[in-house]
Structure 1
Amino acid sequence: MDWRVFLTVFVSVFIAELGDKTQLATMLFASDKEVSKWTVFLASASALVVAAAIGVLAGSVVSQYISEKALSMIAGIGFILIGGWVLIFR
């Protein structure tokens, strides 16, 4: 296992997920006193694993048709556009 890649992906995804709607929804479900916290944790963790698996599969398929450099450029431009949108319209 490439620990450098592992840590880079872990930190990036962890920071991106902090305080997002997924975490807020999980907190909402966990706040119900009658619901098992383990059930909420396992369901939330499973959903994130499945979503990540879809991302990995999609990335594998897309990378067969578009170069890594082009994908990086598209992702970078996309993040810049989203950031600009948020700054202008929020």
Structure 2
Amino acid sequence: MDWKIFFTIFASVFLAELGDKTQLATMLFAADKAVSKYTVFIAASAALIVATAIGVLAGSLLSQYINPKYLHYIAGIGFIIIGVVTLVKA
């Protein structure tokens, strides 16, 4: 395993996920006294694992048909569009 890549991906995803809707929803579920905190943790973790697996599979499939350089451009443009839309709606 390439630890440099591991920690780069970990840091990027960790920072991107802090304070997002997923974390806020998980906090709301955990705030419910009738719900087991272990259940919230396991369910939220499983959901993130499945979502990440879908992302990895989609990226693997797309990279077979589209040059990864272009995928980076597409992802960058997508993030810019999301940022602009978010700023306009704010």
Q: Secondary structure at the match of 2:65?
A: coil
In the alignment of these two chains, the number of paired residues is 90
Q: CA deviation at 1:22?
A: 0.6
Query: TM-score when scaled to structure 2?
Result: 0.94
Task: Give ranges in structure 1 of 5+ residues lacking alignment.
Answer: none
CA distance in 2, matches of 1:86, 1:30: 28
Task: Give ranges in structure 2 of 5+ residues lacking alignment.
Answer: none
Task: Point out 4+ residue stretches in structure 1 off by more than 4 angstroms.
Answer: none
CA distance in 1, matches of 2:43, 2:2: 28
Q: Give the % identical residues.
A: 68
* Partner residue in 1 for 2:21: 21
Question: What are the superposed Cα offsets for residues 51-70 of structure 1, whole Å, 9 maximum, x if unpaired?
Answer: 10010001000000000100
* Partner residue in 1 for 2:69: 69
Query: TM-score when scaled to structure 1?
Result: 0.94
